Amino acid sequence: MKRIYEFARKPAMRNYTISDLQELKITGQKLSMANPLNANEIKACKEAGIDLFVCGMEQIDDVRSIAPNHFCRVGSKWAQFGSNEELMADAFEAMRRGADMYYTLRSLNAIEMMAREGIPIQSHIGLIPTFSHYCGGLRGWGRKADEAIKIFETLKRMEDVGVIAVEAECIAEEVLEAVNKKTSIVTFSLGSGMAGDVIMSFVADVCGEASEEDRPPKHAYSFGNVGRLHKQIHEERVAALGQFHREVIAGKFPYHQNNISMLGGEKDKFLEALDKWKPTHQ
């Protein structure tokens, strides 16, 4: 555990720092990363020993409350802001609230602007779902040599503007293995093999929350079957609500044992008073 100051000048402790992530390229140690979406998932990831968190601005306060010492990346969506100034303001807000790294898909100019201010930036290479229109849909990247070399060239351009880390999504594993040795950028593998410095996956995928109808991607390996429990909970919920509805319609609910009754002898006094009651103002 490392003693640090957060970017808002608040003393804190962290399990990993930016420097620690950069050291992974030398030591070869692998770290795990997942994306808890709510307080319950944050607690589960923490108890499971997940090393690094991904979250949105709406979760960062919960992360800092429940897992105050965990490294956490906060990011924005590509079209969330219309100007670089708005993007910069969001990045500063994320860092003020306890983020350790900021993720963006915006241009190299925007990234360089933020990096110059000392904001640790993570970007994205390989499959970028937001831009899947440009590449014919969701698919693997770097399966041919010409596309593989473009991935490397993109990495080097990002390196030049100060990118600290990249999410490497659905890249051929041979490509990530080769380029990871030729860049100072910390790589977070999402469906791109074991060569990434950090191995990332989604909580829903790891826990098996998707159904077969959802058609989870090839890299979405499930270590659990939470989806079965979700289905069971739904069925139990429907059954309980249905029984409640039927009992109400039949005139049976609320049951006597669930109701509140007057104290002994009070009912007669109340009814007598009710019969005699007259309004005080006509």
What is the H or E stretch that residue 20 is in? Answer: helix 18-27
Predicted pLDDT at 122: 98
Characterise 139 by phi-psi region: left (phi > 0), alpha (psi -120 to 50), beta (else): beta
* pLDDT score at 136: 82
In the chain, % of residues over pLDDT 90: 85
Helix (H) or strand (E) holding 265: none
What's the confidence (pLDDT) of residue 151?
A: 96
Q: Measure the CA–CA gap between 194 and 213, rounded to whole angstroms.
A: 28
pLDDT at 215 over 90: no
Q: For residue 177, what pLDDT is reported?
A: 96
Per the document, the length of the chain is 282
pLDDT of residue 218: 81
Mean pLDDT of the chain: 94
State residue 131 phi and psi, 5-degree precision.
-105, 20
What average pLDDT does the segment 112-135 reach? 92
Alpha-carbon distance 37 to 2, whole Å? 25
pLDDT of residue 125 exceeding 90, the answer is yes
Checking if the pLDDT of 213 tops 70, the result is no
Rounded (10°) CA dihedral 59, 60, 64, 65: -30
pLDDT band at 86 (very low <50, low <70, confident <90, very high): very high
Q: Which residues does 119 contact at the CB level (< 8 Å), separation at least 6?
A: 7, 91, 92, 95, 102
In this prediction, residue 79 carries a pLDDT of 78
Domains of the chain: 2-224 (3.20.20.60), 230-276 (no CATH)
pLDDT band at 77 (very low <50, low <70, confident <90, very high): confident
